[in-house]
Amino acid sequence: MPAEPVLAGRCVLITGGAKRLGAATARRMHGAGASIVVHYRHSAAEARALVAELEAVRPGSAHAVCADLLDIAALPGLVAAAVQRFGRLDVLVNNASTFYPTPVGSITPAQFEDLIGTNLRAPLFLSQAAAPALRETGGLIINMVDIHAKRPLKSHPVYSSAKAGLVMLTRSLARELGPEIRVNGIAPGPVMWPEHPMDETLKGEIVGKTALKRTGSPDDIARTALFFAADAPYVTGQIIAVDGGRDI
């Protein structure tokens, strides 16, 4: 008989899961047998399309849930929706992120609250809400960090600071939530360019600073997430840079 998929029977909740890195992670985890809860806020059409794609492969294996991650009171409901639909929660991927420039001379309180809220506060409080369900399954939290948590990105001081905080949060949660729950992070490098326009010369300079002299793919991130979920039972509190050697 063929071997059972490595994540068969498990449930994975992915924030910002409707497109880009979140969607790639959803497809990879689903391909390994997991049921997927796709969180979205504004990308309803993309979320519905992804769920339909996954359900066409394995009926009853995907679900979409809308929530504002900046609304802390709504976060327990996101976890409850996953548990109600699939009976358990095994992996939380804190993937949702807000990214835009905030030159130091023009940072507004609203921008600060948005960037810190999405990139740091939401992962903390969603992890808090998910912890009871994850303890029951010996679960895993994966935080999407950024290589700029260690090396600040020009004109992005708030974003870089939020991701630096997420690195420490990842390590702190690993200590606080162990031994039942593992907590790890992924720090993407030049894998996907921002959705807003970006200078082509700058892109070339960034790629030129990687050891591999090329961009990565969303699936490089997704495969790392799957490694944490399926092949790393003794790994916690770690950040893996998936950056083509940009950080060396």
SS3 state at 171: helix
Please, are residues 85 and 63 in contact by the beta-carbon 8 Å criterion? yes
Burial class (CB in 10 A: 0-12, 13-18, 19+), 52: exposed
> Edge-to-edge strand order for the sheet containing 62-66?
62-66, 35-40, 11-14, 91-94, 140-144, 182-188, 239-242
Instruction: Name the token pair of 235.
Output: 């790994």
State the Cα–Cα distance between residues 12 and 93, nearest whole angstrom. Answer: 7
For residue 36, list its beta bridge partners: 12, 62
CB proximity list for 188: less than 8 A, separation 6 or greater: 21, 144, 146, 147, 216, 221, 242, 243
Torsion of the alpha carbons at 99, 104, 110 and 115, rounded to the nearest 10: 30
Residue 40 annotated as catalytic:
no
Query: 40, 100, 159, 234: which one is catalytic?
Result: 159
CA of residue 102 relative to chain centroid, distance: 22
Write out the catalytic residue numbers. Answer: 159
